[in-house]
Structure 1
Amino acid sequence: MAGMVYAVVPVLSVVLTGLFAGLFFAFSIAVMPGLGRAGDRSMVEAMQGINVAILNPFFAVVFIGAPVVLLGQTVLHWAAGHTSSAWWAGAALALLVLVLVVTFAVNVPRNNALDRAGSAERLADPAAVRGDFEAVWVRWNHLRTLASAAALLCTALAVTTG
């Protein structure tokens, strides 16, 4: 049983961290540039819809699961005396924690403000609502993308080093 845990946890950490990084990467290279080409009202409406749609069990498993599994991987490597792997897994965990902090300090409050603005079709000034949201949200999402991609690299190094 212990052997299976030592085999499954590192693989699961790579998969979940990859999905975690891929989510932010997709927003950076496709979703937000695509919405950037839309009109103000359409962009606000689409982003409000995304904010609702993303809160689902699959997202929760990745968003919460990746850091939890990385914590487990760090502990397992440390307990087995694989200090190099433990350090890489710990670095990956620290990077994902940074992403979580940015998410809850910057991106989620912007999402909430966008939702509080009301229905996109009833906005008096959709350009102002968009202006308060988009540039800062995108800038910080790029940071989340870079940090989570670095976490994926660290996770892979944790699995491949001894």
Structure 2
Amino acid sequence: MVRSVALAAATLSMGLIAGLFYAYSCSVMIGLGRTDDRTFVSAMQSINVSILNGWFFASFMGALALTALAGALHLGGGGRSALPWIVAALVLYGATFIITVVFNVPLNDQLAAAGAPDRITDLAAVREQFEATWVRWNLVRAVTSTAAFGCLIWALLRGGVS
């Protein structure tokens, strides 16, 4: 039962994170891309501050921890048919995690360091240094986290729930 709960919780948290990155890719960044430089910089700075909350951290870290836990719990017993899919999900989400830490977070920090939008002398340059690279890496993590979510769903279907 604990094994099943861990896998279900991992799948849920992975789905939440995959959905978040997907939503940024197919709506948030497209919408912000159509705004002027001041609006873009101001909105992204605000989003980057507001996303640092318990709900986000619970799902972002939970996807990693719960997938690892589910994998460990499936090492023995009858859940071995789900194990390769859990491991694949862990590897894919590991890539998502690394992309976030190595690319997206430093870009967020760089955008914050630029200062308040009404004090930035060249908003276009600040946006230029941020937008395309951030969007590109977010798309990659949307794909990797969605693939990880799919792997966990398949793990559930392969016998991960008993």
Same topology, TM > 0.5: yes
Q: Which runs of 5+ in 2 are unaligned?
A: none
Alignment correspondent of 1:74: 71
Alignment correspondent of 2:56: 59
Deviation at 1:46, TM superposition (A): 0.3
- The two structures have a TM-score, normalised by structure 2, of 0.95
Amino acid aligned to 1:19: L
Q: Which runs of 5+ in 1 are unaligned?
A: none
Q: Do residues 32 (structure 1) and 37 (structure 2) align?
A: no
Amino acid aligned to 2:111: L
Alignment correspondent of 1:105: 102
Q: Percent identity?
A: 44
Q: Equivalences for 1:129-140 in 2 at 5 Å? A: 129-140=126-137
Amino acid aligned to 2:56: F
Deviation at 1:106, TM superposition (A): 0.6
Q: Do residues 96 (structure 1) and 93 (structure 2) align?
A: yes
Specify the SS of the correspondent of 2:74.
helix
Alignment correspondent of 1:48: 45
Q: Deviations over 1:104-149 (max 9, x none)?
A: 1111111000000000111101000000000000001000000000
Amino acid aligned to 1:43: F
Alignment partner for residue 87 of structure 1, among 80, 84, 88? 84
Alignment correspondent of 1:124: 121
Amino acid aligned to 2:83: A
Amino acid aligned to 2:33: G
Deviation at 1:11, TM superposition (A): 1.3
Deviation at 1:8, TM superposition (A): 1.3
Deviation at 1:75, TM superposition (A): 1.1
Specify the SS of the correspondent of 1:161.
helix
Give 4+ residue runs of structure 1 displaced > 3 Å after superposition: none
Q: Do residues 8 (structure 1) and 12 (structure 2) align?
A: no
Q: Distance in 2 between matches of 1:114 and 1:94?
A: 29
Specify the SS of the correspondent of 2:101.
helix
118-127 or 74-83, which moves further after superposition? 74-83
Alignment correspondent of 2:158: 161
CA RMSD of aligned residues (A): 0.9
